C-alpha cells in the first residue's frame, strides 16, 4: 500500500456510503492522530485502539445525523507522488469555513487549518473534510 492515509479516508467514506456503524483501519500513530482530530471536531463518534503488536487496529465509530453521514466529503490533498506544502497565508478555508483541512505543521504536530492560520504555521496539507 503506497498511501495509508488515503486508504483510511476511503474506508471511512465507503463505510458511511453503506451506513456501517464502525470501520476498522490498520493502526499507525499518524492515522490515530488524524482520527482523534476528526473526533474532536465532531466528524466521528468514537476512536479506539484495538489489539496488540501486529494485529493492532483503529476502530472508528461513525457519526450520523438523521441517517445521513456527518462527513459529506473527504479529499486527500497531498499525495505521495505530489506533496502540497503551503505557507500560513496560503491556507484557504474549506467549503467557506464549513469544512476543515488537516495540516502536518513545520513544528511537527497535526492541526486544522484554523489553528495553523492563527499560529502562523505552514506545512503539508494532508486532507480536506467537509
CATH class of 74-129: alpha beta
Contact assessment for residue 57 and residue 50, using Cβ atoms and an 8 Å cutoff = yes
pLDDT for residue 51: 94
Give the tens place of pLDDT for each residue, 61-98: 999 999 899 999 999 999 999 999 999 999 999 999 89
What are the grid coordinates assigned to 72, written together? Answer: 459529506
State the span(s) of the chain assigned CATH 3.30.1370.30.
4-69
Architecture category of domain 4-69 in CATH: 2-Layer Sandwich (3.30)
Give the tens place of pLDDT for each residue, 23-57: 999 999 999 999 999 999 999 999 999 999 889 99
Own/partner pairs, 111-115, CB within 8 angstroms, 24+ separation: 111/37, 112/37, 112/41
Contact assessment for residue 129 and residue 93, using Cβ atoms and an 8 Å cutoff = no
Q: Tell me 96's DSSP state.
A: G
Contact assessment for residue 123 and residue 105, using Cβ atoms and an 8 Å cutoff = yes
Contact assessment for residue 14 and residue 85, using Cβ atoms and an 8 Å cutoff = no
State the span(s) of the chain assigned CATH 3.30.1490.10.
74-129
Amino acid at each position: 500500500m503506497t498511501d495509508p492515509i488515503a486508504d483510511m479516508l476511503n474506508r471511512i467514506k465507503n463505510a458511511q456510503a453503506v451506513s456501517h456503524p464502525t470501520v476498522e483501519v490498520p493502526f499507525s500513530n499518524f492515522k490515530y492522530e488524524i482520527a482523534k482530530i476528526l473526533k474532536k471536531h465532531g466528524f466521528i463518534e468514537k476512536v479506539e485502539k484495538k489489539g496488540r503488536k501486529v494485529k493492532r487496529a483503529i476502530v472508528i465509530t461513525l457519526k450520523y445525523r438523521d441517517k445521513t453521514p456527518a462527513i459529506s466529503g473527504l479529499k486527500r490533498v497531498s499525495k505521495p507522488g505530489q506533496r502540497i506544502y503551503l505557507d500560513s497565508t496560503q491556507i484557504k478555508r474549506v467549503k467557506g469555513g464549513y469544512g476543515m483541512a488537516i495540516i502536518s505543521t513545520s513544528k511537527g504536530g497535526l492541526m486544522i487549518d484554523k489553528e495553523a492560520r492563527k499560529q502562523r504555521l505552514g506545512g503539508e496539507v494532508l486532507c480536506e473534510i467537509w
